[in-house]
Amino acid sequence: MADDVTMDQIVSLCRRRGFVFPSSEIYGGLGSTFDYGHYGVLTKNNIRGRWLEAMVQERDDIVLIDSAIILHPRVWEASGHVEGFTDPLVDCRTCKLRFRADQLESAQCGRKPSRHPGGTPDCDLTEARQFNLMFQTTVGPIEEAGAKAFLRPETAQGIFINFKNVLQLARRQPPFGIAQVGKSFRNEITPGNFLFRVREFEQMEMEFFVPPAEAEQWYRYWVDARFDWYLRYGLRRSRLRVREHGEEERSHYSQGTSDIEYDYPIGWSELEGVANRGDFDLTRHTEFSGTKLEFVGLEGTARYVPWVIEPAVSIERIFVAMLVDAYDEEEIAGRERTVLRLHPAIAPVKAAVLPLIAKDPGMVEKARALYEELRRSEVVEYDEGGAIGRRYRRQDEIGTPFAFTIDGQTLEDDTVTIRERDSLVQERVAIGQVGAKLTEELRKPWTTPKTD
Amino acid sequence: MADDVTMDQIVSLCRRRGFVFPSSEIYGGLGSTFDYGHYGVLTKNNIRGRWLEAMVQERDDIVLIDSAIILHPRVWEASGHVEGFTDPLVDCRTCKLRFRADQLESAQCGRKPSRHPGGTPDCDLTEARQFNLMFQTTVGPIEEAGAKAFLRPETAQGIFINFKNVLQLARRQPPFGIAQVGKSFRNEITPGNFLFRVREFEQMEMEFFVPPAEAEQWYRYWVDARFDWYLRYGLRRSRLRVREHGEEERSHYSQGTSDIEYDYPIGWSELEGVANRGDFDLTRHTEFSGTKLEFVGLEGTARYVPWVIEPAVSIERIFVAMLVDAYDEEEIAGRERTVLRLHPAIAPVKAAVLPLIAKDPGMVEKARALYEELRRSEVVEYDEGGAIGRRYRRQDEIGTPFAFTIDGQTLEDDTVTIRERDSLVQERVAIGQVGAKLTEELRKPWTTPKTD
């Protein structure tokens, strides 16, 4: 595993700089649920934005959808979730807690916290039974069976049930894709590891519909394309790998699945999954709904059920991977700094504008004017609080790639210093050129300063 | 009410062009639930983006948060929702349906659909009882009382419970605000009117914390600021008004509430609400959590519970208002067209690139190159399908402000025509200048061509 950063360091930075807090903290918290602070929201927005650019805006063949979270309950019968989206659970009649049957080794007995339930003589475990991971609720005022509903455990099914709408209205034919970003919910028995396994998370899924004969080729294409996306946004190649599932590991619907794994502090784990789902989903929804979900070519020249290739990831897992990958502590001229070497397109704040002396009205005036100009097109911060070194370190910790400092010389010649986060190189530039310079710097391909 | 457009026309356009579909349609639909297609998602993204720009990016004093949807259940006791977020319901023992007691006049008897339950002799209504509008679910595997939870009915409470975190970590002092965008859920008994009252919706709320003595002034400020935002994005002044709630109409927490109303096809209705919530929320959460939520100035010079001003709106209501306001049908030189006069910053697609003749490889090549250049920074469409007039009308219907047409002359002198959606003015511009021209046009203040 990545041995130069621990999950505790990431959790601590997130807390200290207001990226992520434990949720409902003033009420004692709610296990494995988190709220995002200002920088966390901005970072997530950037991850989502870059995904949408690559998956939709820069392509011809993928359109967007945003389906409801509470869908018709039959959707989850067709998808197999009602029957099969379960974990095996056992109860302990002694300590009254419940455990995953397949994880008893690492479980904690409620009475004897230091010992495993299986190894405690007074543990009295029931037979394992299946527990469905979908959150259940009731829609509408009539409390009868028909009104039972589920919070979606994935966004994919909202795409499949709209396949026909998109085919007709967006005038598409395979190969084409439908992308969706939105919250999904899973009533995890053993959530944990910070944002790694949480009960509500934001999925980014894309279902790519292809002629069956092209499925294998597109499956390979999407594994490569998604892998390259992580490199493009600065993750170290040495901490990324593709792991293909063995036949016994694959889901019932899968003709082939590869995980793009990241070397998290907890070890190699799934970052994104790419699956060849075959015709499972469209066939099942055809069967359950009676609506034929297939592609029919012009004048009936072709007629088939497309196969589906699905790259699926959660923003939370990308968020953690990017923070882990970016985290660095170093000593510069005898002083320690923590720095997040985030890709500039992911960094929550693009630049800081800093008057060297907060009590100098001339500096403050010029700094404010520059700040107000820059924030029209980018997220920038103005900071006049404290010594300049301390302000730089604050920006380093949240990963701000550039700082513009207004000093005594600015008052004479209208130049400011640009300080670059990674190299710490400082150069002077005319204040009137700062906006264009920032735009240019942010559009440059970024060369990671990280060592492999 | 706005008499030149009906809700049916909007619903029909949304369906026809793939902005919005009824949800779970292949399963017979799920009442009052909708899925958004490609243009709908892009339009919503633009509305959200413009709100975030105005509320956060262009200001110093507001930070973002993204709290969980399932919060600690005590949050909803403190907020008053468990006790009071209810509608009065009656059951009919004959037809077995349930109705809102305060809307019996417009209700439909299940047995005799054409008659009101109150007016049907065999209707046998129970006493009214209170029905809570929060969706309920169960978190975690232990099915005991403590694991009962709710889907948030508003994003505001997620802000209040993080007040202290933001105060400390974002180094803020009143007046300052915390903004949140996200899904909220209400188990409405009588949803309806297209997107106007739906069970899940995306809220944009901002809680602005101020010294109590400044509350009235900030309340007025936010009513004006939000009103101006609608004008900035093109809504007609004649279809907007501010209506202040009378004392009897205000919620229990409110010291003053104003609705910014829009003249929808169903009549004047709330678009956005601005409320002066006093110190109700922070005081209640202090009481229920035991954590003191107050502002303490440097060295204790000031100590008070801030009052809260809240502008709150859903993307859905803005979406409908903007479509209604933009919708126009007109006859141009004997041909009818439907056009959405959306503000360019709201329009889902910013420009279309159209080769005049799809079979001309020279035109297609130049058009594709231009399209690929433009889509790096904006959402643009390439369309070579059908007669040019038909392609223009398709873009008019989705509100695309500009179309660039590559024709025979382009092959000679590398100029293209720009067609402007509203004026229909066409001018020629050098193909190398199109990118800069588009950027410039999109940044210009937009003058609405609508008549008041």
Residue B285 pLDDT grade (very low, low, confident, very high; cuts 50, 70, 90): very high
In 3D, which of B286, B292, B302 has the Cα closest to residue B210?
Answer: B302
d(CA B71, CA A22): 11
Q: Does A30 sit within 8 Å of B71, measured CB to CB?
A: yes
**What pLDDT sits at residue B142?**
57
- The pLDDT mean for chain B works out to 91
Give the three-state DSSP class for B304: strand
Provide CB contacts within 8 A for A3, sequence distance 6+: none
User: What is the average per-residue pLDDT within B302-306?
Assistant: 94
pLDDT band at A116 (very low <50, low <70, confident <90, very high): low
Inter-helix orientation angle A7-16/A315-326, to 10°? 100
Report d(CA A398, CA A18) in Å as an integer. Answer: 9
d(CA A219, CA A212): 11
User: How close does chain A come to B1, measured CA to CA in Å?
Assistant: 30
Q: Please check the confidence at residue B135 and state whether its pLDDT lies above 70.
A: yes
The string of DSSP letters for B27-73 reads GT--TT-EEE-HHHHHHHHHHHHHHHIIIIIT-SSEEE-B--SS--T
The confidence score (pLDDT) of residue A121 equals: 61
- Looking at residue B445, the DSSP 8-state letter turns out to be P
**What pLDDT is recorded for position A101?**
84
Quick one: pLDDT band at residue A1, thresholds 50, 70, 90? Answer: very low
Q: What is the rounded CA–CA span in Å between residue A204 and residue A318?
A: 11
Q: How far apart are CA B392 and CA A60, in angstroms?
A: 19
pLDDT tens figures, B322-358: 999 999 999 988 889 999 999 999 999 999 999 999 9
DSSP string covering A391-405: HHHHHHHHT--EEEE
Of A101-115, A162-176, B192-206, where does mean pLDDT reach its minimum? A101-115
Closest CB from B37, B60, B185 relative to A165: B37
Query: Which candidate, A87, A52, A320, places its Cα nearest to that of A186?
Result: A87
pLDDT beyond 60 at B118:
no
Q: Say what the pLDDT of residue B1 is.
A: 45
For residue B56, pLDDT over 90 is answered with: yes
Alpha helices in B175-330 (DSSP H): 215-232, 280-289, 315-326
pLDDT of residue B196 exceeding 90: no
Size of interface A-B (CB pairs under 8 A): 216
* Token pair 């784990």: residue: A269
**Structural tokens at position B435:** 């990118």
What stretch of H or E contains A129?
Answer: strand A129-132
Share of chain A above pLDDT 90, in %: 73
pLDDT digits (tens, 9 = 90+) for A20-43: 999 999 999 888 889 999 999 999
Chain A residues touching residue B151 (CB < 8 angstroms): 137, 151
CB contact (8 A) between residue B42 and residue A64: yes
Average pLDDT score over residue span B276-280: 97
* Amino acid letter, residue B164: K
Nearest CA in chain A to B67: A35
**Per-residue model confidence (pLDDT) at position A122:** 67
Predicted local distance difference test score (pLDDT) of residue A110: 67
Kindly state the average pLDDT of the residues B210-231.
98
pLDDT of B24 strictly over 60: yes
A37 contacts B169? CB cut-off 8 A: yes
Task: Please state the pTM of the whole predicted model.
Answer: 0.94
Helix (H) or strand (E) holding B113: none
Residues of A in contact with B291 (CB under 8 A): 26
The CA distance from A438 to A381, in Å, is 14
What CA–CA distance (Å, rounded) separates B209 from B186? Answer: 26
Q: Are B20 and B404 in contact (CB under 8 A)?
A: no
Map residue B125 onto helix, strand or coil. strand
CA distance, residue B384 to nearest chain A CA (Å): 12
> Quick check: A23 and B131 CB within 8 A?
no
Q: How far apart are the C-alpha atoms of A167 and A145, rounded to whole Å?
A: 33
Residues B234-256: tens digit of each pLDDT: 999 999 999 999 888 888 788 89
pLDDT digits (tens, 9 = 90+) for A258-271: 999 999 999 999 99
Determine the average pLDDT of the residues in B128-153: 82
- Would you state the pLDDT for residue A254? 84
* pLDDT for the residue B16: 94
One-letter amino acid for residue A25 of the chain: E
Tell me the pLDDT tens digit for each residue of B391-409: 999 999 999 999 999 999 9
Biggest CA-to-CA distance, chain B:
81
Residue reference for tokens 């219907």? B397
**Smallest Cα distance from B247 to chain A, Å:** 30
Decide: B251 and B275 in contact? Cβ < 8 Å: yes
Of the listed ranges A89-98, A303-312, B423-432, the one predicted with least confidence: A89-98
Cα–Cα distance, B86 to B77 (Å, whole number)? 13
pLDDT tens digits, B160-193:
999 999 998 877 889 999 999 999 999 987 767 8
CA atoms of A178 and B35, how far apart (whole Å):
13
Residues A200, B141: C-beta atoms closer than 8 Å = no
Radius of gyration of chain B (CA): 26
State the complex-level ipTM.
0.93
**In residues, how long is chain B?**
452
DSSP annotation of B141: S
Task: Indicate if the pLDDT at residue B121 is higher than 70.
Answer: no
CB contact under 8 Å between A140 and B169, yes or no, is no
CA distances from B7 to B233, B270, B324, B387 (A): 21, 16, 8, 30
- pLDDT of A358-378, one tens digit each? 999 999 999 999 999 999 999
Nearest-Cα distance to chain A for B72, in Å, is 6
- Dig out the tokens for B133 from the structure: 């509008």
Residue B303 or residue B113, greater confidence: B303
Q: Across residues A159-164, what is the average pLDDT?
A: 96
Closest by CA position to B219, among listed B206, B233, B234, B235: B206
How large is the average pLDDT for residues B76-89?
Answer: 92
Q: What is the pLDDT of residue B3?
A: 55
Which residues have CB under 8 Å from A369's CB, separation 6+? none
Q: Which residue has the higher pLDDT, B372 or A126?
A: B372
On the question of pLDDT at A301 being above 70, the answer is yes
